[in-house]
Amino acid sequence: MARRRRKIFTLDANGQAIGRLASNIARILIGKHRVSFTPDRDGGDKVLVTNIGQAVFTGKKVAQKIYRHHTAHPGGLKEVPARSVFANPAQAVRLAVSRMLPRNSFRSARLRRLRFAS
The answer to whether the beta carbons of residues 100 and 26 sit under 8 Å apart is: yes
- State residue 32 phi and psi, 5-degree precision: -70, -15
Q: Please state the domain extents for the chain.
A: 8-116
Please tell us whether the domain made up of 8-116 is placed in CATH 3.30.70.20. Answer: no
State how far the Cα of 4 lies from the Cα of 16, in Å rounded to an integer.
31
pLDDT tens per residue, range 75-91: 999 999 999 999 999 99
- pLDDT tens column, 47-73: 999 999 999 999 999 999 999 999 999
Give tens-digit pLDDT for 9-26.
Answer: 999 999 999 999 999 999
Instruction: Output the pTM of the full model.
Output: 0.91
CA distances (Å), origin 53, targets 26, 76, 81, 95, 111: 19, 31, 18, 15, 19
What is the rounded CA–CA span in Å between residue 6 and residue 113?
10
